[in-house]
């Protein structure tokens, strides 16, 4: 990963509400795992009853509710997905 001065905020409230800035795409989601592409790498969110409340690509804001049990960053594996999203993958 390049060394950039990228600022990303993650706010977790009572392990029930998560707000993240710098999100560029949602790669996968269900009620137990959500994988989002951020400016700092892939972020996997695990929990129960996860529901995405907001995804605004223009402002890079994302939020979800549910019982959040873990957050984990990973790198690699999705190089070149910057310009694609779930809808473009569905309608290929």
The pTM of the full predicted model, rounded to 2 decimals, is 0.77
Structural domains present in the chain: 10-75 (2.60.40.2000)
pLDDT tens sequence across 12-26: 999 999 999 999 999
d(CA 52, CA 49): 10
Residue 60 falls in which region: left (phi positive, over 0), alpha (psi -120 to 50) or beta? left
pLDDT tens sequence across 36-86: 999 999 999 999 999 999 999 899 999 999 999 999 999 754 444 444 455
Q: Which two tokens stand for residue 44?
A: 């996997």
């Amino acid at each position: 990963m390049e060394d950039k001065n990228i600022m990303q905020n993650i706010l977790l409230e009572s392990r029930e509400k998560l707000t993240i800035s710098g999100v560029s795409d949602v790669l996968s989601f269900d009620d137990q795992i959500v994988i989002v592409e951020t400016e700092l790498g892939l972020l996997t969110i695990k929990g129960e009853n996860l529901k995405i409340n907001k995804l605004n690509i223009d402002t890079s804001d994302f939020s979800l509710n549910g019982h959040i049990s873990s957050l984990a960053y990973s790198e690699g594996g999705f190089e070149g997905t910057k310009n694609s999203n779930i809808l473009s993958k569905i309608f290929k």
